[in-house]
Amino acid sequence: MRTLCASTLIGELFVIGFAGLVAMKDPDLAGSTVWTVSGIAMFLCLALCGVVTRPGGVALGWALQIALIASGFVVSTMFFMGAIFAALWWASVHYGRKIDEAKARFAAQAAQADSPAPDAV
């Protein structure tokens, strides 16, 4: 799960950076505000890559997805991009868990096959 979720978060990091560049063109927004908010969101994407498998990591990822969609009120394209990344986040979590379960099942089968059989008396 970690690899899929981290890949999604790294993609989001770049999209947030590009959205910050687009937001800079809005004369009503201060550049320092745009880059403070974008920088915090980009840092959260990077930090979540490391904690996604810990308790609450997936929930924090969902909160980031909601914030990304809400950023569409500033940069309208982000409504669409946020929805795309929310779908990618769901797929990463869903299929990542299935992959983790399959890996655990295969590891258990391999361990069982490697264990010596009890001697018949």
- pLDDT of 10 > 90? The answer is yes
113 pLDDT more than 90: no
Kindly state the percentage of the chain with pLDDT values over 70. 96
Stated pTM of the model: 0.84
Over range 12-37, report the average pLDDT.
Answer: 93
What does the alpha-carbon distance between residue 66 and residue 60 come to, in Å, rounded to a whole number?
10
pLDDT tens column, 62-92: 999 999 999 999 999 999 999 999 999 999 9
Average confidence score pLDDT of the chain: 92
CB-based contacts of 65-72 (< 8 A; 24+ apart in sequence): 65/89, 67/41, 68/12, 68/15, 68/16, 68/41, 71/16, 71/19, 71/41
